[in-house]
């Protein structure tokens, strides 16, 4: 019996950060042990905000290099670039005909943007392009094209997978056969608990991220900027309310967590000491991966080869899906 399919995508918008690693990359790589894992770089999704050619190119390479440096084996799983699979955009057009406008009105990305505009005294649709508005449809095409069973997501993306399932269900019902596999969102609570430099959820939109593969000196300097309270060094401190410890516990084993908790509560631990502990465990976790990442980014020919081979494999799967839909709908048939 063939494995079920897991699909994960990351937008090439800025540097990959530790929130991406914990919330998407690490979990997705773990899923590859049980699922037929497929990973893609969502460059057309990124086009909504990234308009600089060099930034798009470098960020795309950066995502591919981050996956591979973190342990992805292109010989064992599928890695491809969204824009290399034109069937994605044919399917997106097909899905538009079965997508209720109300779904787009209620999609969280559009609602959040509209709400912010209104709070700022602007028109609700100020700065809203159709790429943002129809984002869930393109995401549905990404998912449905590859016969996806599960999609690991955070809370904010769960709605989009549910919209995808609704669209697929409508198409299957219309043509009286299972043309598209109905996906299931798999919730990843980690994406809700990765704390940024300022104590909010780590996010590029908050400019509070810690890039995954920063040089050691820059990494340490950034870690030292994590927001803490004004307690003196000698005062006992609560690790459970500390932004530094919130990150530390995501990388430390249980014993190391308990040891550092004891130092917090005993007093005599300054914030600089706590941040140094975090810096050291980040170095332990990512130093070797950073070396691999730097090697890949220094000569991107290997990444080009991997993405080209991934595109060929991806299009074989995608063309089969499009073929089913064309046959069932009468489109393109004589």
Known catalytic residue at 249: no
Known catalytic residue at 26: no
Q: Minimal CA–CA distance to 147: which of 289, 320, 1?
A: 320
Known catalytic residue at 113: yes
Question: What do you get for the CA distance between the two ends of the chain, in Å?
Answer: 36
186, with CB counted inside 10 A (0-12, 13-18, 19+), is middle
Annotated catalytic residue, options 26, 158, 204, 292: 204
Asked if residue 82 lies in contact with residue 45, where contact means CB atoms within 8 angstroms, the answer is yes
Annotated catalytic residue, options 11, 201, 249, 275: 201
Annotated catalytic residue, options 113, 249, 261, 275: 113
> What is the distance between the alpha carbons of residues 189 and 312, in angstroms, rounded to a whole number?
34
Asked if residue 133 lies in contact with residue 163, where contact means CB atoms within 8 angstroms, the answer is no
> What is the distance between the alpha carbons of residues 299 and 145, in angstroms, rounded to a whole number?
31
- Alpha carbon of 148 to those of 12, 123, 185: distances in Å? 22, 38, 10
Long-range contacts of 93-98 (CB under 8 A, 24+ apart): 94/325, 94/329, 94/331, 95/137, 95/140, 95/141, 95/144, 95/167, 95/171, 96/134, 96/137, 98/167, 98/170, 98/171, 98/174
Alpha helices in the chain (DSSP H): 18-20, 26-31, 43-46, 53-69, 87-96, 101-106, 108-119, 130-133, 135-144, 155-175, 190-193, 216-223, 243-248, 254-266, 271-298, 301-329
- Which amino acids are annotated catalytic? 113, 201, 204
């Amino acid at each position: 019996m063939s494995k079920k399919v897991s699909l994960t995508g990351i937008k090439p918008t800025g540097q990959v950060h530790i929130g991406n690693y914990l919330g998407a990359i690490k979990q997705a790589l773990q899923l590859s042990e049980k699922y037929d894992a497929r990973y893609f770089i969502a460059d057309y999704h990124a086009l909504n905000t990234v308009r600089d050619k060099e930034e798009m190119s470098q960020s795309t390479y950066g995502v591919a290099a981050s996956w591979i440096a973190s342990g992805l084996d292109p010989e064992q799983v599928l890695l491809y670039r969204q824009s290399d699979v034109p069937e994605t955009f044919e399917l997106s057009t097909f899905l538009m005909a079965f997508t209720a406008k109300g779904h787009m009105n209620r999609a969280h990305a559009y609602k959040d943007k509209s709400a912010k505009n209104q709070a700022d005294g602007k028109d609700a649709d100020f700065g809203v392009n159709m790429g943002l508005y129809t984002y869930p449809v393109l995401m549905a095409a990404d998912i449905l094209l590859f016969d996806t069973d599960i999609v690991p997501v955070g809370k904010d993306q769960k709605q989009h997978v549910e919209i995808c399932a609704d669209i697929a269900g409508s198409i299957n019902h219309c043509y009286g056969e299972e043309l598209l596999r109905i996906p299931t969102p798999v919730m990843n609570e980690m994406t809700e608990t990765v704390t940024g430099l300022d104590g909010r959820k780590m996010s590029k939109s908050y400019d509070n991220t810690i890039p995954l593969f920063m040089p050691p000196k820059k990494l340490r300097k950034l870690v030292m900027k994590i927001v803490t309270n004004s307690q003196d060094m000698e005062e006992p401190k609560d690790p459970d309310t500390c932004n530094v410890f919130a990150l530390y516990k995501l990388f430390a084993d249980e014993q190391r967590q308990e040891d550092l908790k004891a130092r917090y509560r005993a007093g005599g631990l300054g914030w600089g000491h706590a941040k140094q502990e975090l810096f050291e465990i980040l170095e332990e976790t990512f130093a070797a991966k950073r070396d691999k990442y730097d090697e890949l980014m220094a000569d991107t020919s290997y990444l080009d080869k991997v993405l080209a081979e991934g595109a060929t494999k991806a299009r074989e799967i995608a063309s089969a899906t499009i073929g089913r839909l064309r046959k069932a709908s009468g489109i393109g048939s004589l």
